[in-house]
Amino acid sequence: MKVLSIGRWQLQIKEEWKTAFFATWIVGLFAHAYRFFNFLPIWDSIYNFYGIGSTFSLGRWFLPYVGLISSIFDLPWVNGALSLFYISIAMILLVELFDIRRKLPIILCSAAFVSFPTVVSSFAYMYTADAYMLSFLLAVLAVYLTFRIPKWGMFPGMISLAFGMGIYQAYATTCAVLVLVFVIRQFVTEKPSFFDAVKRDLKYLGMLLGGALLYYIILKLTLWHFNTTLSNYQGVGDMGIMSFAQYKLAALQAKYHFQTLLGLEHGVVMRPYTLLNTLILLLIFGITIYLLIKNRVFEQKLTFFATFLAILLIPFVAYGVYFTSPSVEYHTLMEMGVCLLYLLFLLLMDQLEWKSALPKILKCTGVLAMCALIYYNVLNCNIAYFNLNLSYHKSYAIAENILDRIEDNKHFETCNKVALVGQYSCPTENVRTLVPNIMGISNDSFLNDSYHYTIFWNNCFGVNLEAASYQKMEKIKRTKAFQEMPVYPASGSVKYMKGVIVVKLSE
């Protein structure tokens, strides 16, 4: 154990901390170096060569400030390095929170988190990835502070959670699932009386509710200060009490998306990702039953049943945003809470000993399953970035060819307005589809509308063209001349109409 001295303040650097830190960085670079050292834009990052995306109107009042840590530019290596740093600190906090001392579970935990699909999806939106990973760190810190400071830890935990939600609200569910994992481990290993456990753990519920309330108060003050309102994106503007039918639908959606993320949307099918996750889920229940019997937790009937109830609640808590707004649509960026299922698995395995055959078999099977899953996820990360590289080269080639056609038009010298109508689709069908599907990852062109083209030409070609308004494009689409035009790349798919150079990309 080393001691780091900063003036009068001393920090003991534990071996477990170093293991978590370096495991995160080593596996993180194997998984994401392709992304860190290449320019791989997507449809959304085209709008954010300079910037961090929408902030106050989406309720992300802390995002514009933490985004300045990595500058306002989309810098893959800087944002990526900061992201790995935040994840590695979160792993250290988890090691301390759960008192993990063996190296193997620490390494597997760090590797599972840094290669998880939510991290890949976040790195697709690299211009804001570091901020989102800081939100993840603050969610973990909220639980850690509540645990570490016995009497008043709930209050700094509230602040940490509120500011994490101020970056990205979805990480509130990550914090809630982490509390569930903490409670499950406590039930399995400590055999507490149910009511004693509830009394002791009420502070975590207070932290979650207080953090959400503090976030809401700061949000209202921010909207008032900047004289703005919440948009309807992802149901942000519709949050509130829902009907019974809407809650029932939310539960079904949570179950479906949980299964989809684990590759189980079509049940147990013969593909590695699905089979590995199925095995891990079975092992979680198997090891839980073994430990409950071994530690005689069944003597505390309420504790016994509460353990299984808490495990079954994980999918619904992980997708808890569904229960706040009827307009929510979950995507991979919002699903980090599901990764805590692997943390629970590793914590349960860590309780197994090598003294008899059954725990040996369970532990060996679990370790092999986790290693195989991590290897699969690391490969999936690189396949995802390979797809983004294909998408970039396609988009560049299409943009260059269309620009050549526009420049060949005799009106180009006097007209700087363009209307690219429709969307040119060119996916590579023989490239392996990702399992699970990851939002932001595609091998198709990322040029979806006129504004994508004009921004791309401006930033990457140095050609300033202005996109015609959508109203103008609608008028053009209704004309007979446009309807008779052939579709790009056919000859005649670029024409001058009513003061605009028009490109017909699809019917």
Structure-token pair, residue 356: 């008899």
Ramachandran class of 7: left when φ > 0, alpha when ψ lies in -120 to 50, beta otherwise: left
**In sequence order, which residues have a C-beta less than 8 Å from that of residue 465 and are 6 or more positions away?**
406, 416, 417, 418, 453, 454, 457, 458
The predicted-structure confidence for 368-384, as pLDDT tens digits, reads as follows 999 999 999 999 999 99
Question: Taking each helix axis from N to C terminus, what angle separates 301-318 and 171-190, rounded to the nearest 10 degrees?
Answer: 160
State if pTM tops 0.85: yes
Strand order in the sheet with 500-504: 466-467, 417-421, 500-504, 494-497
- Residue written as tokens 């800081």? 134
Which 8-state DSSP code applies to residue 231?
-
**Who has greater pLDDT, 317 or 241?**
317
The predicted-structure confidence for 96-140, as pLDDT tens digits, reads as follows 999 999 999 999 999 999 999 999 999 999 999 999 999 999 999
**In sequence order, which residues have a C-beta less than 8 Å from that of residue 389 and are 6 or more positions away?**
34, 38, 40
Indicate whether 197 pLDDT > 90.
Answer: no
The predicted-structure confidence for 337-353, as pLDDT tens digits, reads as follows 999 999 999 999 999 98
Residue 1 pLDDT? 61
Residue 7 pLDDT? 65
Indicate whether 493 pLDDT > 70.
Answer: yes
Residue pair 59/219 in contact (Cβ under 8 Å)? The answer is yes
Structure-token pair, residue 335: 């699903």
Q: What is the mean pLDDT of the chain?
A: 91
Structure-token pair, residue 497: 């109409």
The predicted-structure confidence for 58-96, as pLDDT tens digits, reads as follows 889 999 999 889 988 889 999 999 999 999 999 999 999
The predicted-structure confidence for 133-191, as pLDDT tens digits, reads as follows 999 999 999 999 999 998 899 999 999 999 999 999 999 999 999 999 999 999 998 88
Q: Enumerate the β-bridge partners of residue 13.
A: 2
- Whole-angstrom distance, CA of residue 144 vs CA of residue 81: 24
